[in-house]
Amino acid sequence: MTGVIAMRDRIPSQNFTGNKRNTGTVYEHRAARWLTSRGHEILALSFSCRFGEVDVISRIGNLLVFSEVKYRSTLAYGSPAQAVTRQKQRRISNVASWYLYSRGYGPDTPCRFDVIAVSPDSIQVYENAFGYQGDFDY
């Protein structure tokens, strides 16, 4: 993985009573704010289609960035970035293809796939965490 960017950003320890959806939404919004502060324009949060979901879609310059946000309260089961399996990479890639097609972007649109790892006291962005793994070439 190249281009790791880290930020110490104390995340308040809140009890989300086990609701993974609410917890995910909180950290997706936190990641989106972080991206915005770095010059990204947020195009979509929790974009979903029949192929799956991408947590954050942003643009910086002419580059589209598809980001998967992962949170873990403990590293006992590995880092958040390790949770993005090949199957998940494939799903994200297919969603990205659909997004590009459905929004009228051409096949030569520059894209990047990032993983944003959120832990209790930091945010790390793994730029170019993986390449396109999808099934479609439109």
Picking from 79-83, 114-118, 120-124, 128-132, which range would have the lowest pLDDT averaged per residue? 79-83
Q: Tell me the whole-structure pTM to 2 decimals.
A: 0.81
50, part of any domain: yes
The residue with greater pLDDT, 72 or 6, is 72
Instruction: Say how far apart CA 56 and CA 9 lie, in whole Å.
Output: 19
- pLDDT averaged over every residue in the chain: 83
Question: Considering only 74-88, 92-106, 108-122, which range has the smallest mean pLDDT?
Answer: 74-88
pLDDT: is 24 or 138 the higher one? 24
Is 99 part of a structural domain of the chain?
A: yes
| Domain assignment present for 88 | yes
Q: Is 134 part of a structural domain of the chain?
A: no
Domain that holds residue 86: 4-126
CATH of the domain at 30: 3.40.1350.10
Q: Is residue 136 part of a domain?
A: no
Q: Which of 18-22, 51-55, 82-86, 130-134 has the lowest mean pLDDT?
A: 18-22
Domains held by the chain: number: 1
Question: Is there a domain that residue 55 lies in?
Answer: yes
Kindly state whether residue 44 falls inside one of the protein's structural domains.
yes
Most confident of 34-43, 65-74, 126-135: 34-43
The per-residue pLDDT for 1 is: 41
Q: Does 70 fall in a domain?
A: yes
Percent of the chain whose predicted confidence (pLDDT) is above 90:
58
- Give the CB-side neighbour count of residue 46, counting CA atoms within 13 A: 9
Please give the pLDDT value at position 4.
47
